[in-house]
Each structure stands twice: as C-alpha cells, then as structure tokens.
C-alpha cells in the first residue's frame, strides 16, 4: 500500500531460516542452545504459520531413532530419511551426553535431542540402528532401555537392525518367543534370546528386525508400512527404485533346531 515502509533486506533471509524449523522436532527446539548454527532463529510471530505447523504435526506419526558413538551411519540415516519421506515426525536422539555423536567410519551425526529428554513422549515407533560399539552403547543406556521396554509393554512398534537386535533388544529380554534376525556374526548370540531367522527383514507381532546396511532400505520401508499401510509404503518405495522381492535370497531359514522324538516305531500304510 502507499506510504508503507520498505521491507528491509534481511526479512526474506529470516523467512528462509524459519522454513527449516519444519524439519526440526519439538525436542530439537529445546536443545538449539547447545548447537552452533550459522543462523539465529527468531521466535515465530505469525499466528497463521504456527497454527498450520501444529496441525500437521498432530497428524504425523511420532518416531524415535536413537544414535550413539559407534552407530552405523548408513543404517541411521537411511532409516531416518525413508521414514521422514512418509510424513512421520522423526526425532533423532543421542544416548551420549552430547547431541553430536561419532558414528562409524568417521561420520559425525548431530541429534535433535538427548534420549533423556524424550522419556515423557509417546512414540508410535522406536527404531534402533546397529553398528559397534553403537549397539553396546544402546544396551548400556538406562533411559533408552526404559523407553523401549515401555514401548513393548504398551503394545507399540519397536525395531532394530544389524547388531542391535541381539545386543540391545535381546539383552533387554524383548525378543523372547519371537522370530528375529540380525547381522550374520551376531546370529549365534541371537539364538539364545529369540528364534533366529535368516531373513533380510523379519516381522513378528510389533517387532521388526533386519540384518545390516544392505537391508536397511527394505527395513525402513517395512516400518513405513507398519505405520501407514502398504499404499504409503509403495508410494515411498517407488521413487527409490528398489528391487522387488525375488529369488532364493529372500528364503527364510530358521536356525534354532527342533528335536523330534518318537516313542513308537513309525507305521507306514500303503
């Protein structure tokens, strides 16, 4: 309108910075003071913006992906990325004392929050990436153990890939009587706490497990299907150009032996 003051140059830049808040969780907003960002985010002043953001957040499924020093970065990032493509609100939480963790292969990952800050949040899914010693650091984190045990007790989804099914979930007693899979070198350990299955992705009830970096894409899409249904999983997986299930590589082999006993001589009729 006439007589309006000219808009300062920095305001468009502030709008761009604020758009990045859509990718942050409510946990991360509490923790931004610990991060050194090139931008300083101003409080939201537009009622229309904050109202629409809160509406979309309440509809999204809430997912927790913990990370630790020694986490396998491919398993963490693929799981986070694929699930976020479904529209879910994924909180990345560090089990360490700092938000930034030293993942495997020299990769640094910065979390949204600390696991301890998530204890009062209800999640639709908690998914543990693997890697060593990342899985061991998960096992030793009391706050994470409490979260996942409550998740199981409440009948909500929980999942793990690579070493984490055996090292974390198995050690916490959360795979008893269930079929599960894990990284090949941990299968013997898994047999002591679950029905070990050689499967790229294994689901039993509310638990989904998988084997390693190469199976994480299938693992993450399976989690999307559990959260939103097959139609959404197909919508997410289509653009990823994934291979269809085929061939002997998807054959399931149960490793736990079953002993059959017969007290009488078998009778055969012709």
The residues that are catalytic are 162
SS3 sequence of the chain: CCCCCCCCCHHHHHHHHHHHHHHCCHHHHHHHHHCCCCCCCCCCCCHHHHHHHHHHHHHCCEEEEEECCCCCHHHHHHHHHHHHHCCCEEEEEECCCCCEEECHHHCEEECCEEHHHHCCCCCCEEEECCCCCHHHHHHCCHHHHHHHHHHHHCCCEEEEECCHHHHHHHCCCCCCCCEECCCHHHHHHHHCCCEEEECCEEEECCEEEECCHHHHHHHHHHHHHHHHCHHHHHHHHHHHCCCCCCCHHHCCEECCCCCCCCCCCCCCCC
């Amino acid at each position: 309108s006439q007589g309006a003051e000219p808009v300062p140059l920095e305001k468009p830049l502030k709008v761009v910075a604020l758009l990045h808040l859509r990718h942050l969780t409510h946990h991360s907003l509490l923790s931004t003071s610990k991060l050194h960002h090139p931008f300083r985010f101003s409080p939201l002043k537009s009622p229309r913006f904050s109202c629409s953001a809160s509406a979309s957040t309440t509809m999204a499924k809430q997912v927790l992906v913990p990370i630790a020093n020694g986490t396998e970065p491919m398993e963490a990032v693929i799981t986070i990325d694929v699930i976020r493509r479904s529209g879910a609100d994924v909180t990345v939480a560090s089990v360490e004392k700092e938000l930034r963790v030293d993942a495997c292969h020299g990769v640094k990952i910065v979390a949204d929050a600390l696991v301890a800050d998530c204890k009062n949040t209800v999640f639709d899914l908690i998914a543990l990436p693997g890697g060593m010693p990342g899985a061991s650091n998960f096992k030793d984190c009391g706050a994470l153990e409490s979260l996942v045990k409550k998740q199981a007790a409440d009948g909500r989804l929980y999942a793990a890939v690579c070493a984490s099914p055996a090292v974390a979930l198995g050690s916490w007693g959360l795979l008893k009587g269930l079929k599960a899979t894990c990284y090949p070198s941990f299968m013997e350990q898994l047999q002591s706490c679950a029905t070990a299955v050689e499967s790229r992705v294994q689901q039993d009830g509310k638990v989904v497990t998988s084997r390693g970096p190469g199976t994480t894409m299938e693992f993450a899409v399976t989690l999307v299907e559990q959260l939103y249904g097959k139609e959404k999983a197909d919508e997410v997986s289509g653009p990823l150009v994934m291979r269809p299930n085929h061939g002997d590589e998807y054959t399931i082999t149960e490793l736990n032996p079953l002993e059959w006993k017969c007290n009488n001589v078998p009778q055969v009729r012709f």
